[in-house]
Amino acid sequence: MKKLCFLLLMSWLVMEVTAQNVVYSNLKGLLACEGDTVTSLKVERRTKNHILMTGGADYKISVGSDDSMCKYLKSRCYAVQADTSLYINCKRLRYKKFRFGGWYAPALRIGDHIYFSAIPLGSVAAGSDATMDVMLGGKFGDAIAASALISKRVYYEIDPETNKVGFVGKERMEELLEGHPDWKTAYLNENSESAKVTDKYLRLLKAEEK
């Protein structure tokens, strides 16, 4: 357990050698690290009330008074690397038939897979312990209207081949942690699919790449 805590701490301390702001127009460009560098970005965490009123992900990203770049960031940009943090634009992403809405979700890249944290949708909201069994309606608007979901987050995974989104629940985490029996046991003992718990073990896997 001490080793697990130490590795977790180290995963938070590891930083990239060069910090810069890069925008990516698609998943292919992100995976190939082929994007456009921008001089400055404004990253704002959206309030729970704003998310409740308009839906969407946790972060708004803009570029000062550059209207054309702001429109690009809102609608067409796929992902943003702001210093050492990665954000995925949820506007064009779906989990099955459910939309995440606009703006950006915090993300991690492990190998060629992208993992991001967002509100529980569809069957995830209906069955995950992270949502207190709050049921969703047939549209994203119905889901976001359930205020109990606003503060809940789970992890999703973007398939590098199909760009489809899958839920990172217990079964998927068991697969990812298969080569680390101690981590796997610790994860299962936490008995939670919440983003807070999942994030901890994804970062341990991420730290192995350094």
pLDDT for 11: 46
What is the predicted pLDDT for the residue at 168? 97
| Residues 73/61, Cβ–Cβ less than 8 Å | yes
Which of 4-13, 67-76, 78-87, 195-204 has the weakest average pLDDT? 4-13
Averaged over 152-175, what is the pLDDT?
A: 95
What's residue 130's pLDDT? 45
Q: What is the pLDDT of residue 5?
A: 54
| pTM, rounded to two decimals | 0.82
CB neighbourhood size of 96 (10 A):
12
pLDDT of the residue at 2: 53
Q: For residue 174, is pLDDT > 80? A: yes
Q: What is the DSSP string of 105-157?
A: EEEEEETTEEEEEE---HHHHHH-GGGTTPPP-SSHHHHHH-GGGTT--EEEE
Write the pLDDT tens digit of every residue in 66-105: 889 999 999 999 999 998 999 999 998 999 989 999 999 9
**Total domains, the chain:** 1
Tell me what pLDDT residue 164 has: 94
What would the two tokens of residue 69 be?
Answer: 């770049």
pLDDT of residue 4: 54
Tell me the pLDDT tens digit for each residue of 54-63: 889 999 999 8
What value does the mean pLDDT of the chain take?
Answer: 84
Which range of residues forms the domain containing residue 46?
2-207
Please compute the mean of the pLDDT values over residues 169-186 and round it to a whole number. 96
Instruction: State the chain's maximal CA–CA distance in angstroms.
Output: 51
